[in-house]
């Protein structure tokens, strides 16, 4: 039976916030009403940031936020504000950085911060238990002590808050002296840093826990050195063979708790699977190995089956938990496997997925990983076993699905889906990506303004840098698969919006929030990749490509200003700047731009032969398309003609495909 709605979260769109609408805590959303209440009553704010697929968020909710006694303490002492980090990445960025400054420890979720009424945090942590354990205080007692400190030590807190604000301001790079020329030194340094941290046995970088880091893998796959490319391929293969990949149903989980990629944190995020789908396709192009094609096929199938709405938008995530237990939906008992499969299937499944060894999940269950190779003749039998296990798993109580549509995450999946569609010539994947883009354009783009999230017919919240930049990159990928005039028009509008509403014209680069966004205690402007790519890096890359495609100097200049702003950081320590390094690569050597014009049926062969080289942009413009910008308005013909610009040198048009195969 659902709990009655007792607080202001019941009007929100976020499934995470709605999960807390029945708490006895008098939760408020982050809005002017709740912030004004804190200022008016001179009460501190208890800020809790999480997301719906977060295991420890659920734990803290069950222990403390659903407990009437703990809730009574919270309600008496604080204005309690709950934030979905996926809908408000601006707040999450600011307060994760503040947490790190306050505690000298990395953050995470749930993020629990105590703020002065002006929004400046003065104490915090992540998960706190209801009763003292793990070396942490009980949450109700902690709340009492924090409130006492706020009431009795205000001058100390105000001094600390002023210092924290100065520290936050210091994280924003300012204008630098003009750089004479860019050079490849940061690319070489990044290669060396990744090589130094590479785990040659298991793939990936560093030890446990291990995250996919797709921007680093994409960087390595673009290197000319086969040894560097092999680092990416090894990592992708080990992940594809491990438990971080769902061997039964497809799709990647967020990270592995061990260095072997064997046991994941079971939540599945859209933002991981888009880039990893694209990388799997590229790995198949590089090697021709079946495993990468299989993973691409199964991941795309999972997305179409479970993560795309009837209206076209892609959902956000699947929970780690079901029935109150992490991983319960995904793990197996040997007796269940034996009962579902024939003896021959069961023996093969046990050998293939490690079910014949000791249990690898909590010492009592098995989670599938690739434990042994298959002979070609064994593949059909294993597929029969997989389908039976999948059908049985479908009957279990499913993990929760966060069904809001986030613009930035949709863009990452659109780009990954359409890139894989180009590689594998999958029209169904291309149509899926186009439907998602059409949903974003139709639902989240109003009066030249982009919105960040939509659910149940309601779109709201001003979009951020990442939303605009990732969409622009996705549109460039879409236009290479099947040109649609509305995609080009949307790309130009997004590029112009980036320059008008996000660019720091004085210092270079792009702020995470628009110029007319709500005023917060800090305005981030970062070039560092996190779980998702850097908005500044993707903006610079996409603006460069669009600038070269259309001959638009404004876009190229903005990309150059962005690279100049972050150039000192790239030179000092390029680790974690994979997106900006991609933009630097193409600033040093612009991509080859290939414009095809002619009958649509004949151009398909040209597109297929030209492939998906990472430093080439191919746009096929069928006869009959009108209203093209000057740079694309090539003459129509009854044969295919190609116009090629390599770097800053443009060749004469050619009708000879063989001249372009390089």
Is 427 found in the same domain as 295?
yes
550 and 640 both lie in a single domain: no
Residue 3 lies in a domain: no
Query: 460 preceded by cis ω (within 30°)?
Result: no
Check if the beta carbon of residue 145 is closer than 8 Å to that of residue 46.
no
Same structural domain, 213 and 234: yes
pLDDT the model gives residue 1: 32
For the residues 235-247, what does the mean pLDDT come to? Answer: 98
123-180 pLDDT tens trace: 999 999 999 998 899 999 999 999 999 999 999 999 999 999 999 999 999 887 766 6
Same domain, 509 and 462: yes
**600 and 561, same structural domain?**
no
Phi-psi sector, 611: left (phi>0), alpha (psi -120 to 50), beta: left
Q: Is the dihedral of CA 573, 575, 581, 585 positive or negative?
A: positive
Confidence (pLDDT) at 53 = 92
> Which of 565, 588, 611 is the C-terminal boundary of a domain?
588
Does residue 415 share a domain with residue 375? no
Note whether residue 174 is domain-resident.
no
Same domain, 409 and 311: yes
What is the arithmetic mean of pLDDT over 431-459? 97
pLDDT over threshold 70, residue 662: no
- Over range 208-215, report the average pLDDT: 96
Residue 176 lies in a domain: no
Q: What is the mean pLDDT of the chain?
A: 96
> Do residues 38 and 116 both lie within one domain?
yes
What is the average pLDDT across 466-478?
98
Residues 572 and 601 in one domain: no
What's the CATH code of the domain at 112? 3.40.30.10
Q: Which domain holds residue 361?
A: 330-395
Which residue pairs from 443-451 have beta carbons closer than 8 angstroms and sit at least 24 positions apart in sequence?
443/311, 443/313, 443/405, 444/405, 444/407, 445/490, 448/493, 448/497, 449/497, 450/407, 450/494, 450/497, 451/407
pLDDT at 2 over 90: no
Neighbours of 156 (CB within 10 A): 11
The answer as to whether 179 is a domain residue is no
**pLDDT at position 650, please?**
86
Evaluate whether residue 346 is within a structural domain: yes
Query: Which residues of 420-489 form beta strands (DSSP E)?
Result: 445-446, 449-455, 458-462
Instruction: Judge whether 352 lies within some domain.
Output: yes
Q: pLDDT at position 631, please?
A: 87
Which of 395, 416, 438 finishes a domain? 395
Are 138 and 200 members of one domain?
A: no
Residues 242 and 388 occupy one common structural domain: no
Task: Could you list the beta-strand ranges (E) of 71-180.
Answer: 79-84, 111-115, 121-125
Give the tens place of pLDDT for each residue, 292-324.
Answer: 999 999 999 999 999 999 999 999 999 999 999
Domain count, the chain: 4
pLDDT digit string, tens, across residues 524-572: 999 999 999 999 999 999 999 999 999 999 999 999 999 999 999 999 9
Which of 375, 395, 415 lies at the terminal end of a domain, its last residue? 395
CATH number at residue 260: 1.50.10.10
The answer to whether the beta carbons of residues 89 and 50 sit under 8 Å apart is no
Identify whether 537 is part of a domain. yes
Same domain, 294 and 414: yes
Q: Report yes or no on 213 lying in a domain.
A: yes
């Amino acid at each position: 039976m659902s709990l009655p709605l007792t607080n202001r979260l019941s009007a929100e769109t976020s499934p995470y916030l709605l999960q807390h609408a029945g708490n006895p805590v008098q939760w408020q959303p982050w809005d002017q009403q709740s912030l004004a209440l804190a200022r008016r009553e001179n009460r501190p704010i208890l800020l809790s940031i999480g997301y719906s697929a977060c295991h420890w968020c659920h734990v803290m909710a069950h222990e403390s936020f659903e407990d009437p006694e703990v809730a009574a303490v919270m309600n008496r002492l604080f204005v309690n504000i709950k934030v979905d980090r996926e809908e408000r990445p601006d707040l999450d960025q600011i307060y994760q950085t503040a947490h790190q400054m306050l505690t000298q420890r990395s953050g995470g979720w749930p993020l629990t911060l105590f703020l002065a009424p002006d929004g400046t945090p003065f104490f915090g942590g992540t998960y706190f238990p209801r009763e003292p354990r793990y070396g942490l205080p009980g949450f109700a007692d902690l709340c009492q002590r924090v409130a006492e400190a706020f009431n009795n030590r205000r001058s100390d807190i105000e001094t600390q808050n002023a210092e924290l604000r100065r520290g936050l301001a210091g994280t924003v790079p300012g204008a630098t002296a003009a750089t004479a020329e860019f050079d490849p030194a940061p690319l070489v340094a990044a290669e060396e840093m990744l090589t130094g941290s590479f785990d040659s046995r298991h793939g990936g970088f560093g030890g446990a826990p291990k995250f996919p880091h797709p921007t680093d893998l994409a960087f390595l796959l673009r290197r000319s050195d086969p040894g560097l490319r092999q680092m990416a391929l090894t990592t992708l293969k080990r992940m594809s063979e491990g438990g971080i990949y769902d061997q039964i149903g497809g799709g990647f989980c967020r990270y592995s708790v061990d260095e072997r990629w064997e046991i994941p944190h079971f939540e599945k995020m859209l933002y991981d699977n888009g880039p990893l789908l694209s990388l799997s396709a590229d790995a198949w192009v590089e090697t021709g190995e079946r495993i990468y094609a299989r993973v691409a096929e199964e991941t795309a199938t999972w997305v179409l089956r479970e993560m795309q709405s009837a209206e076209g938008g892609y959902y956000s995530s699947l929970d780690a938990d079901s029935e109150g237990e992490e991983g319960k939906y995904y793990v197996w008992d040997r007796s269940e496997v034996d009962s579902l499969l024939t003896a021959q299937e069961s023996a093969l499944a046990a050998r293939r997925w490690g079910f014949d060894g000791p249990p690898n999940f909590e010492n009592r269950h098995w989670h599938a990983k690739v434990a042994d190779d298959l002979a070609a003749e064994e593949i059909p039998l294993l597929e029969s076993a997989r389908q039976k296990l999948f059908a049985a798993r479908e009957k279990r109580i499913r993990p929760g699905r966060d069904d809001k549509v986030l613009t930035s995450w949709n863009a990452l999946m659109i780009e990954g889906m359409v890139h894989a569609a180009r590689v594998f010539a999958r029209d169904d994947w291309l149509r899926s990506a186009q439907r998602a883009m059409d949903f974003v354009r139709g639902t989240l783009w109003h009066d030249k303004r982009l919105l960040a999230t939509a659910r149940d017919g309601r779109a709201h919240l001003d979009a951020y840098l990442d939303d605009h930049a990732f969409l622009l990159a996705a549109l460039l990928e879409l236009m290479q698969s099947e040109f649609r005039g509305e995609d080009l028009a949307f790309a130009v509008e997004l590029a112009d919006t980036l320059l008008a509403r996000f660019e720091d014209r004085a210092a270079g680069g792009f702020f995470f929030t628009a110029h007319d966004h709500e005023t917060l205690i800090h305005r981030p402007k970062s070039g560092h990749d996190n779980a998702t790519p850097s908005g500044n890096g993707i903006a610079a890359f996409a603006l460069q490509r669009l600038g070269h495609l259309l001959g638009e100097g404004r876009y190229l200049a903005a990309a150059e200003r962005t690279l100049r702003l972050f150039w000192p950081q790239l030179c000092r320590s390029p680790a974690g700047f994979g997106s900006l390094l991609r933009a630097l690569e193409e600033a040093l050597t612009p991509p080859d731009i290939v414009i095809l014009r002619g009958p649509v049926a004949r151009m398909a062969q040209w597109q297929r032969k030209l492939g998906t080289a990472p430093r080439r942009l191919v746009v096929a413009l069928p006869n009959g398309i009108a209203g093209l910008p000057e740079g694309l308005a090539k003459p129509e013909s009854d044969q295919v003609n190609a116009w090629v610009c390599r770097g800053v040198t443009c060749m004469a048009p050619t009708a000879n495909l063989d001249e372009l195969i390089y």
